[in-house]
Amino acid sequence: MQTELSKELGVEHAIFGFTPFPAVAAAISRAGGFGVLGAVRYTDPTDLERDLDWIEANVDGRPYGLDVVMPAKKVEGVSEADVEAMIPEGHRQFVEDTLAKYGVPGLAEGEASGWRITGWMEQVARGQLDVAFDYPIRLLANALGSPPADVIRRAHDRGVLVAALAGSARHARKHAEAGIDIVVAQGYEAGGHTGEIASMVLTPEVVDAVGPLPVLAAGGIGSGQQVAAALSLGAQGVWLGSVWLTVTEADMHSPAVTRKLLAAGSGDTVRSRALTGKPARQLRTEWTDAWDDPDGPGALPMPLQGLLVADAVSRIQKYEVEPLLGTPVGQIVGRMNSERSVQEVFDDLTRGFEHAVDRINRIAGRGEEA
């Protein structure tokens, strides 16, 4: 599964794996793919430095990258406290009423929330980059469009390729104009923040819009047959995120979440603003239903919603309140029905890819008779 892009980066398979777990990122690279560590949860740069040290020691010299979340436009002089002050009291009360309805205990006195979206704020992301550029990362990806121009220059000065996610051909063209190197065409089926266009439609549209810039296909991909389909649509690789949530190397910290993922079907996700304020695909729960209810107050815009629900999400996770417990995940969750190692996932992907290519060759009259 090699393409021009995978050869440029020195990886065996054109499979890019996004994950918040350092052990998974390293295992993806060791398996012949390209591991990309999600940095949004690293509000303390020293924690990111610790985990990049670990990846560097466990990646066996293979290439890897980092994914950050930062807006292209900078907002000066706005602190987290300033943003928190914008949250209406009615929304705070709605959170407490919903938690009380399900009997969710509070955090212990002095216990800080373990889930904060401060990583969406630019000053935090820049601190992450100050750490990351001291390591031999080969790729910097940004999940909120093109990163600021100075960040792109800084990456290029270090020989680091820059990728940006796009949910439409229009967004992809803006990325190309901004000088990024790779467009990740993320379809509607994807977990986390995603647009409204399905992968089968989006991928060739983006390929046509930005060619010869390399495009990675993302959204609903979790089999080798789908990888073959993405490459046949013109992509130079695939960007996989959800499939790594149930691998044995993942540190989910919640057996209940893992159970829910393994039991879920492809129709058990919803594109909701409940988590961050932007539409993000996640497991459908009674928590997402409450925020999507027309009789409720509705979600606040990013980053207000993420700050509003941070403590609530920590409480739900800590006490594993199953009716409310969820996680971002794509529609591919319907295929995630057993715990496997990263290497086993790669073995399945490569076998499926070979079978798909053989089938197309037979259909085209290039292979042996079936």
Express each pLDDT in 274-333 by its tens digit. 998 999 999 999 999 999 999 999 999 988 898 899 899 999 999 999 999 999 999 999
Residues pairing with 186 in the sheet: 218
Residue 144 has what pLDDT? 79
Residue 307 has what pLDDT? 87
- Residues 2 and 281: their CA atoms lie apart, in Å, by 30
Quick one: CA dihedral 359, 361, 363, 368, positive or negative? negative
Residue 145 has what pLDDT? 83
The per-residue DSSP string of 259-287 comes to: HHHHH--TTSEEEESTTTSS-EEEE--HH
pLDDT digits (tens, 9 = 90+) for 101-135: 999 999 887 776 655 555 456 778 889 999 999 99
Q: CB burial class (10 A; 0-12, 13-18, 19+) of residue 1?
A: buried
CA 86 to chain centre: 27
Under 8 Å CB-to-CB from 138, ≥6 apart: which residues? 9, 34, 63, 64, 65, 159, 160, 161
Neighbouring C-beta atoms of residue 256, cutoff 10 Å: 14
* 77-81, 190-194, 211-215, 303-307, range with the lowest pLDDT: 77-81
Q: Which residue has the higher pLDDT, 194 or 119?
A: 194
What percent of the chain is modeled with pLDDT above 70? 94
Residue 109 has what pLDDT? 79
Residue 236 binned pLDDT confidence (cut-offs 50, 70, 90): very high
Compute the average pLDDT of residues 247-267.
94
What percent of the chain is modeled with pLDDT above 90? 81
In 3D space, the residue among 134, 186, 181 whose CA is nearest the CA of residue 162 turns out to be 181
Q: What are phi and psi of 341, to 5 degrees?
A: -75, 165
Residue 235 binned pLDDT confidence (cut-offs 50, 70, 90): very high
Tokens 């992968």 sit at which residue? 199
Q: CB burial class (10 A; 0-12, 13-18, 19+) of residue 166?
A: buried
pTM here?
0.92
Residue 247 corresponds to which tokens in the numbers above?
A: 């691998």
| Predicted confidence (pLDDT) at residue 78 exceeds the cutoff of 90 | no
- Where are the extended beta strands (E) located within the chain? 15-19, 34-38, 64-68, 139-142, 161-166, 182-186, 192-193, 215-218, 237-240, 269-272, 280-283
Residue 72 has what pLDDT? 59
- Residues 203 and 308: their CA atoms lie apart, in Å, by 35
Residue 370 binned pLDDT confidence (cut-offs 50, 70, 90): very low
| Predicted confidence (pLDDT) at residue 369 exceeds the cutoff of 70 | no
Compute the average pLDDT of residues 60-67.
97
Q: Which residue has the higher pLDDT, 26 or 77?
A: 26
Residue 111 has what pLDDT? 73
Neighbouring C-beta atoms of residue 271, cutoff 10 Å: 20
Q: What is the mean pLDDT of the chain?
A: 92
- Residues 151 and 66: their CA atoms lie apart, in Å, by 13
Three-state SS sequence of 68-102: ECCCCCCCCCCCHHHHHCCCCHHHHHHHHHHHHHC
Q: CB of 214 within 8 A of CB of 187?
A: no
Q: Parallel, antiparallel, or unpaired for β 139-142 and 161-166? A: parallel
Peptide bond into 212 cis (omega under 30): yes
Q: What are phi and psi of 36, to 5 degrees?
A: -125, 115
Under 8 Å CB-to-CB from 231, ≥6 apart: which residues? 1, 3, 14, 237, 238
